[in-house]
């Protein structure tokens, strides 16, 4: 189980990403969803409809913020304006923790709008951990780092990705958002054993798990979040919760988004795995 300091003491079950095609259904039908994850940057605005929708959702649901623009691996440090906007939003959502990606994405204030891979070096680990400590201190909320899907490795690499993730989160004392789909995607693209990755992760830091689908091409996989979760990713999920215990689990579906019911029923499959874990392995507890 994640240490409560990484989850703000909250245990959340199954959630899905809050996405535009589902707004009408959610606002009208108020379906029984455990929680929603929002992309922070979509709501870091001064007013207008994004905040009006968010407020309507917050009236009914617990929301967890997930960011795409912190870029903690940036050699130039953090963007303090970004952190200030993030903190404003945190006040509004009362999110129990926030997550972002273990990546970088900008140089001299010019943005890639992508989650770019870091070299797995001790220098990068030190710089990223330093940035994360600053961010967590400033935001005054538990911070969890997500492993990204990657399509490239560097000549400079001095360790594996899972060693790097553990090194950074330990040095910064932040939580982990373990994306088992990303592990699978990177394992195919780079040719490593995804179980070795999952088995290395410090379980008490895993605040949340992401599951998702992806697109397979002839020679590589792209993490497109536009398909159901495939069986090998469910098996990684099972291994992850076997090690980490029942963990807040969120399905990401960002493109070619089907009906709310379809997305929610895919997300709820994670509950079957958690139930199986309790019945077969006696790990964790049955959720209400």
Partner 1 sequence: MSRLEQLQREFFKALLLPLRGSSRKSTELTPSDEGHAPEFFRIADEIIKPGPELSAAERLELYHRQYWFRILDSLAEDFPVLRRMAGDERFWELIEAYLLERPSQSFTLRHLGEAFADHIEAAPCLDDSRRRWFGGIARIEYAFMKCFECAQSALPEAVDLGDSEIELQEHVQLLRLSYPVDLCWGWQDFTPAEGIEPEIIHIAVWREPSGRSRQERLEAGEVRLLSRLRDGIRLDVLFDELPEPTPSEDDITRWFAKWQGYRWLGVCGKEGAQELDRGIGWEGMDRMSSQAVSMTD
* Contacting residue, 68, 90, 134, 278, with partner 1 by CB under 8 A: 68
Does 262 sit near partner 1 (CB under 8 A)? no
Cβ proximity to partner 1: between 167 and 252 the closer is 252
Q: How far are the Cα atoms of 9, 99, 100, 173, 177 from residue 142, in angstroms, in the given order?
A: 10, 8, 11, 9, 12
Give 78-121 as a DSSP string: --HHHHHHHHHHHHHH--S-EEEES-EEEETTEEEEEEEPPP--
d(CA 93, CA 89): 6
Cβ proximity to partner 1: between 62 and 226 the closer is 226
Q: How far are the Cα atoms of 13, 48, 254, 261, 272 from residue 267, in angstroms, in the given order?
A: 10, 30, 13, 10, 10
d(CA 159, CA 166): 11
* Contacting residue, 32, 137, 140, 219, with partner 1 by CB under 8 A: 219
Does 280 sit near partner 1 (CB under 8 A)? no
Piece of 87-95, 150-158, 168-176, 270-278 that binds partner 1 (CB under 8 A): 150-158
Q: Specify the length of the chain in residues.
A: 288
Token digits of residue 261: 């019911």
* Contacting residue, 64, 66, 245, 277, with partner 1 by CB under 8 A: 66
Piece of 130-138, 149-157, 267-275, 280-288 that binds partner 1 (CB under 8 A): 149-157
Q: How far is the CB of 260 from partner 1 (least distance, A)?
A: 14
Does 80 sit near partner 1 (CB under 8 A)? no
Cβ proximity to partner 1: between 39 and 283 the closer is 39
Residues 61/36, Cβ–Cβ less than 8 Å: yes
Does 274 sit near partner 1 (CB under 8 A)? no
* Contacting residue, 50, 202, 232, 258, with partner 1 by CB under 8 A: 50
Q: How far is the CB of 2 from partner 1 (least distance, A)?
A: 21
Does 11 sit near partner 1 (CB under 8 A)? no
* Contacting residue, 33, 124, 129, 135, with partner 1 by CB under 8 A: 124
Does 98 sit near partner 1 (CB under 8 A)? no
Q: How many CA atoms lie within 13 A of 264 on its CB side?
A: 14
Piece of 45-53, 241-249, 258-266, 277-285 that binds partner 1 (CB under 8 A): 45-53
Residues 6+ apart with CB under 8 A from 130: 172
Q: How far is the CB of 182 from partner 1 (least distance, A)?
A: 10
Q: How many CA atoms lie within 13 A of 163 on its CB side?
A: 9
């Amino acid at each position: 189980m994640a240490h409560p300091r990484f989850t703000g003491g909250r245990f959340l079950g199954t959630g899905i990403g809050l996405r535009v095609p589902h707004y009408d259904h959610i606002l009208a039908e108020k379906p029984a969803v455990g929680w929603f994850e929002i992309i922070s940057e979509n709501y870091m605005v001064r007013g207008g409809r994004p905040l009006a929708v968010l407020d309507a959702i917050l009236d009914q649901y617990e929301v967890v913020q997930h960011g795409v623009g912190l870029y903690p691996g940036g050699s130039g440090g953090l963007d303090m304006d970004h952190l200030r906007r993030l903190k404003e939003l945190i006040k509004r959502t009362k999110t129990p923790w926030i997550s972002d990606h273990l990546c970088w994405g900008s140089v001299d204030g010019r943005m890639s709008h992508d989650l770019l891979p870091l070299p797995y070096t001790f220098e990068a680990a030190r710089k990223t951990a330093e940035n994360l400590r600053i961010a967590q201190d400033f935001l005054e909320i538990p911070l969890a780092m997500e492993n990204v899907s990657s399509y490239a490795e560097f000549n400079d690499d001095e360790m594996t990705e899972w060693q790097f993730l553990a090194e950074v989160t330990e040095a910064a004392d932040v939580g982990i958002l373990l994306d088992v789909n990303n592990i699978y995607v990177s394992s195919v693209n780079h040719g490593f054993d995804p179980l070795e990755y999952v088995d290395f992760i410090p379980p008490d830091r895993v605040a949340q798990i992401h599951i998702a689908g992806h697109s397979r091409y002839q020679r590589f996989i792209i993490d497109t979040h536009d398909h159901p979760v495939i069986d090998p990713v469910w098996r990684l999920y099972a291994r992850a919760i076997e090690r980490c215990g029942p963990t807040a689990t969120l399905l990401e579906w960002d493109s070619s988004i089907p009906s709310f019911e379809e997305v929610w029923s895919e997300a709820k499959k994670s509950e079957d795995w958690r139930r199986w874990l309790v019945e077969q392995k006696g790990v964790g507890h049955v959720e209400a």
